[in-house]
Structure 1
Amino acid sequence: MRIDRARLHDTVLAGVVAAVSVTLYALYDPLRLPAGGLRPADGIGLALVAVSGVPVAWRRRRPLAALCAALVPETLLAVAGYGAGVPGLAGLVLLYSVASHRGLATALGGLLATLSAYTAGAVAGPARAVAWTDHVVAAVVVTAVWGAGRSLRLRRAYLAELRERAARLERAHAADTRAARAEERSRIARELHDVVAHHVSVMIVQAAAARRVLASDPELAGEALSAIEHTGRTAMAEMRTIVGVLRTDARAERGPQPGVQDLPALVEQMREAGLPARLLVEGEPRPLPAGVDLAAYRLVQEGLTNSLRHAGAGAGAVVTVRHRPDELDVRVQDDGAGTAEPPAGPGHGLVGIRERVALYGGILSIGPRPGGGFEVRARFPLKDDQ
């Protein structure tokens, strides 16, 4: 059976308050002044003093009700003319409990009830040789006890607010961390797709070409196999660089990311894979933001890969890069006989390209050309100070 420690402590405190009140009441009897009109200690007085301490056992569960219950015997003691060594000890303990465990309205109600009970006892009791300063001191003591209880409650509320604020900040930090991780995973997924889709597509085309000429032209088939090996090694190197950021036990060796300056090598690789492609650069090249530079390269890579896979035999592609003062215009056009309409469910490559272009405020257009073929075009805005 589990013991309620708070209830046990309050019960023990009630016994202590009752015992102390009875002891002080009995010790106060020899100091009585006969002219004061105070009744001598007797069984009734001792009973009332002892009963006043019993409600302390409920000081946390029902503090206001316990205070009112304790004020009844204390008021009867004052009205009947009994004295006590420490008048209202139980009432002071319960008033403190009301102020420290309940809201402001309830606490003010407890203070008003205590002052009213004291006033009623002072007015209705027998005449005593008590100066008005004694009543002022009693009122100050009651108010000070109430104020101490309120201060404790306000401190508890302040500490609770600090804990809640710290918990909110921790939850917000955890949410930001999860969002950052999700964004990083999405970025890595886009990079992996771009690398794998491009190189695997090139390898498939080269393997098909090698298979067709294997019997008739072994030397040409060997060149295709060498190109497949080179493409595979390149893909593996790029994948190691990307996957390296996921490692937690060591830093990834990260080389420079590809950009617009690497487009000639990309176009040459596509020509070797069997797609007649050429690169046109217009305007004066200028340093580009790293993100825009990589996004432009990936767009061309994805566009050429799609042309290689879907344009058909004999189709060619043109990559055009226009450097303008306020924007970078990149387009990939082919003259193949691919689908007349863009696929209804775009793959991860086009989704990744859309995300990249949108991330840097660009405008992306993907679709068939009026004269035949397909076009992928993006326009990235540039600032003057870049």
Structure 2
Amino acid sequence: MSRWRGLVVLALACAGLDAFLLAGEGIARYAVPPVAALAVLAVGLAPWAGLVGVVAAMVLGGWLGVPTESPALLPATLAVTYLAGRSAGAWPGVAGVAAVAAAAWALDDFGVGTLVFAAVVLGTVWTFGRVVRRRTEAARAAGEEAARVAAVDPVAASGQVVLAERERLATEAVAVLQGAVTEMRRVAAAATDSLGEEELTAVHHRGVVAVQELRLLLGLLRQDPEDDVEGEGAPDQGGRSGSPSRARGRWPLWHEWVTALLALALVPVDLVGPDALGPVALDAGVALCLVPLLQRTWPFVAALLLGGVPLLALALGAPPLDGMSEVVVTVAAAWRVGASGDRVLGAGLAGMLLSRVVYVLGTDPGNLMIELAIIGMPVLAGAAWGEKDRAYRTARDQATTLHEAHGAIISAAVTQERLRIARELHDVASHAVGAMVLQAAAALSHREQDPARARRALAVVDSSGADALGELRRLRSVLRGDARDEQPPTADLAGIVARVGEGLDVRLDAATLPQDPVTAAFVRQVVHEGLANASRHAPGSRVEVRVGQTPAGWVVDIVDDGAALARPAVQSTGYGLVGLAERARALGGEVTAGPMTDGGFALRASLRHTDPAAERVDA
């Protein structure tokens, strides 16, 4: 409705101007303006209808004796041409503008000058409308994108991405570890009967390779994930470089160079013919060609040239440059004033308009409307473009900000999920693979002196591998969402000592244990990690495990006295203590670990009470 209201106002304004300019033209003053008004209104139905209406008004005016040089139909013609550029397609619009120019050419007895002038003026106005339309579409698309992104719940989006990442890792990472453990079990089973050195060495070597693969996998999981979420970049929808509202730069932009060179190339053309101007006009024309190069970087100097040079030439008694060179410079400056609101350049444009009005009123008052249109039309079109450009940039910046905020939330969620999966994989696979490597080394060292013990070690390799495969299958089901990660309600430290502390002299001191599932799981993980590290790095050592309660929370100490067996330590992934510290920080606790001065290694983990009134149970 607002669009039609605007068209009605524009149609009435064009009709009023036509009637004013047709004063003294008899019946044409009353017949032509209504047709021009209908042409403006017809654009609301179809662009081609408006252009046809303009041609009809031109033909009617010619039939009623309106002189071809009369500017009466200029307002309606420019309005319809601009609106056609705003709404018509590329080729239909070009064809319609060509039809209007051809009609003007035919009504002026096929004068070449009329054809060139009409084609240039109408083509320029249509281009204005086309450019504004493109920016309007870009602003609309950017607004829709901003609204779409604003409607997205970043938490829900991050949940979807986390689910996809979880399922991918469940397929890829777990499969790698399953393959390594299965291969190690196969090689161990093949070596059980023969206890051959080559077979046992292959078991141990395959285990070492599995540890290295696990270490690499955990390292990759702990790297920052790449932001490969589709659509998270803020697209530049319809953006164009070199907009008039850009910040000032040091050098002119490419379109400013094109405008200046085009104006300079037209100066000699404007000085040829019977109406050739003198040296003053030539100097003025060359000076004006500098305006496009200076209007953005040095607007004050550009304003002096644009307004001061024509006024100075007029004061010296020489008419300003009257031709296409001046039109090119003036139109470019007027567009910039409208688009960017440059008041300094606007003052220079006002000086140019004043010089032209004074000159035209003294020589050919009938061309006053043309002079006003040359400046007014690009100012209005530039203002429309500037409004849409600001809307576009605002929406684009809003979409970019939302994209970045959502991307940060999603990236943080994915990072946390990858760290969680890395800790789970470490807990499930690292300890089991480490124990398998340790037992493989034991089988290799006892194969001649104690074959039965070597076979028991290989059996442990097989059973540990079976347990690890079961845990990996459970983990994969949890990651895929097929099952819940159910943990024992209490710490169950005795089972951990029996399973992980084999080969160690473990002394467990845990009179009370937390019943809170979160705290119990953390204590279980600390004991598991401490004993696994002692098995790898200090096999045969005495290990003291103490779990105690303080007024602030729970404290777990695991201390070993150093390696008791002359056997090389088993390589670890190096991420166990890192993951343990991350868990502790997430729960408000801390983990410290390091060698002791008198030998051995100490691991301490502390965790504050999650519920001070929680029930305690005996170990």
Structure 2-normalised TM-score?
A: 0.40
The answer to whether structure 1 residue 322 and structure 2 residue 541 are counterparts is no
Matched to 2:498, the amino acid is E
Q: Distance in 2 between matches of 1:351 and 1:287?
A: 23
Question: Equivalent residue for 1:355?
Answer: 582
Q: Give per-residue Cα distances to partners, 1:298-329, cap 9 Å, x unaligned.
A: 3221210121233243x322221223343221
Asked whether the 8 Å contact 1:111–1:146 carries over to 2, the reply is no
> Deviations 1:164-192 (Å, cap 9, x if unpaired)?
43244335544554454344333323322
Task: Note if 1:158 corresponds to 2:391.
Answer: yes
The structure 2 residue matched to 1:181, chosen from 414, 419, 432, is 414
Amino acid at match of 1:281: A
Whether 2:593 is the aligned partner of 1:366: answer yes
Instruction: Say if 2:514 and 2:520, in contact at 8 Å, map to a contact too.
Output: no
SS of residue in 2 equivalent to 1:157: helix
Any stretches of 5+ residues in structure 2 without a counterpart?
1-53, 73-107, 129-254, 264-287, 290-306, 315-326, 566-571, 615-619
Is the contact made by 2:489 and 2:515 (CA closer than 8 Å) also made in structure 1? Answer: no
1:26 paired to 2:68: yes
Determine the C-alpha separation between the residues in 2 that align with 1:173 and 1:349.
31
The aligned runs of 1:180-329 (5 Å cut-off) are 180-207=413-440, 212=446, 218=452, 227-244=460-477, 251-257=481-487, 261-271=491-501, 273-282=502-511, 285-287=514-516, 290=518, 293-313=520-540, 315-329=541-555
Q: Secondary structure at the match of 1:317?
A: strand
Structure 1 SS opposite 2:503: coil
Say whether the 8 Å CA contact 1:326–1:384 is kept in structure 2: no
Aligned to 1:8: none
Residue 509 of structure 2 aligns to a residue whose secondary structure is strand
Which residue identity does 2:579 align to in structure 1? G
Q: 1:123 to 1:305 in 2, by over 3 A?
A: same
Q: How many Å separate the matches in 2 of 1:229 and 1:298?
A: 23
CA pair 124-199 structure 1, distance change in 2 beyond 3 A: same
Taking the aligned partners of 1:363 and 1:270, their CA distance within structure 2 comes to: 23
Q: Over residues 46-100 of structure 1, what are the superposed CA-to-partner deviations in whole Å (9 max), with x where a residue is unaligned?
A: 979976985776787568997x89x99xxx9xxxxxxxxxxxx999987874455
Matched residues in 2 for 1:213 and 1:98: separation? 90
Shift, 1:359, TM fit: 4.0
Partner of 1:378: 605
Identity, in percent, stands at 29
Mark the CA change 1:200 to 1:53 in structure 2 (over 3 Å): closer, same or farther: closer
1:151/1:325 CA distance change after superposition, 3 Å: farther
Alpha-carbon separation, structure 1, partners of 2:489 and 2:600: 26
Contact 1:329 1:377 in 2 (8 A): yes
CA distance in 1, matches of 2:113, 2:434: 99
Residues 95 and 111, structure 1, Cα contact 8 Å, conserved in 2:
yes
1:253 counterpart SS class: coil
Classify the secondary structure of the residue corresponding to 1:26.
Answer: coil
Shift of residue 333, structure 1, vs aligned partner: 1.4
- Relative distance call for 1:119 and 1:282 in structure 2 (3 A) is farther
Secondary structure of 1:347's aligned partner = coil
Answer whether contact 1:270 1:277 (CA < 8 A) is retained.
no
Q: Which structure's CA Rg is the greater one?
A: 1
Instruction: Determine which structure has greater relative contact order: mean sequence separation of CA pairs < 8 Å that are 6+ residues apart, divided by chain length.
Output: 2
- Three-state SS of the structure 2 residue aligned to 1:261 is coil
1:332 Cα shift? Answer: 0.9
Q: Distance in 2 between matches of 1:318 and 1:167?
A: 56
Q: Does the C-alpha gap of structure 1 residues 127 and 307 become closer, same or farther in structure 2, counting only changes over 3 Å?
A: closer
Is 2:396 the counterpart of 1:170? no
- Structure 2 residue 313 is the aligned partner of structure 1 residue 108: no
Distance 1:147 1:263, change over 3 A: farther
Instruction: Evaluate the alpha carbon distance shift between residue 145 and residue 266 of structure 1 in structure 2; reply closer, same or farther with a 3 A threshold.
Output: same
Distance 2:587 2:563 in 1: 32
CA gap 1:116/1:210 in 2 versus in 1, 3 angstroms: same
Q: TM-score, structure 1 length as denominator?
A: 0.60
In structure 1, the residue matched to 2:358 is: 120
Q: Is the 8 A contact 1:111 1:143 kept in 2?
A: no
In structure 2, what is the Cα distance between the partners aligned to 1:203 and 1:324?
37
- Secondary structure of 1:365's aligned partner: strand
Secondary structure (helix, strand or coil) at the match of 1:196 reads helix
C-alpha distance 144-51 of structure 1, shift in aligned 2 (>3 A): closer
Query: Which one-letter code corresponds to 2:394 in the other structure?
Result: E
Contact 1:188 1:242 in 2 (8 A): no
1:331 maps to amino acid? D
Distance 2:521 2:532 in 1: 16
RMSD: 5.4
Deviations 1:186-236 (A, max 9, x none): 332332233223123333444566674898685x77765554443222211
In 2, the alpha carbon distance for the partners of 1:147 and 1:54 equals 18
